[in-house]
Amino acid sequence: MTEQNGFCYFSNQACEFYPCHHVDDPEFFNCMMCYCPLYFLPEDCGGNYTLSSRGIRDCSNCTIPHDPGGYEYIINKLKQIMKDIQTRPEPYFKSPEGERIHLTGNRKEEE
């Protein structure tokens, strides 16, 4: 559970964008992860996002980073990703376009 005033909760009500997403209870709007660390994932992050016609992720409808428990969700997701990376036979992710991307960032066409 998210603890207010702890290492996993911060609310910046002075921010010009606060709140940047609509939430049911703005009293518990968490700004700790203002920019979601899962955005970089070319695979499913678990959030409620859509892709534009150009393949750009739109996270306007996702409130995971700001909801109670969102910090813990993100940290657990990152831990799982690190575990998965360590056990992959080849260190590749698949982009939304289907390309294989090596963890170094080099793109390799799907075989």
Q: How many domains would you assign to the chain? A: 1
What is the domain range of residue 32? 26-108
What is the rounded average pLDDT of the residues 19-44? Answer: 84
Cα–Cα distance between 79 and 24 in angstroms, integer? 28
Residue 8 counted as domain residue: no
Q: Are 100 and 63 in contact (CB under 8 A)?
A: no
Longest Cα separation, the chain: 50
H helices of the chain, in order, are 70-87
Residue 78 counted as domain residue: yes
What is the rounded average pLDDT of the residues 73-101? Answer: 79
Residue 82 counted as domain residue: yes
Residue 2 counted as domain residue: no
Residue 54 counted as domain residue: yes
Residue 59 counted as domain residue: yes
Instruction: Please report which confidence band the pLDDT of residue 110 belongs to, taking 50, 70 and 90 as the band edges.
Output: very low
- Residue 11 pLDDT exceeds 80: yes
- Mean pLDDT of all residues in the chain? 80
- For the chain, the 3-state helix, strand and coil shares in percent, each to the nearest 5, are 20, 10, 70
Q: What does DSSP assign to residue 93?
A: E
At 35-80, the pLDDT tens digits run 899 998 877 889 989 888 988 889 988 999 998 889 999 999 999 9
Report residue 93 as tokens.
């992710």
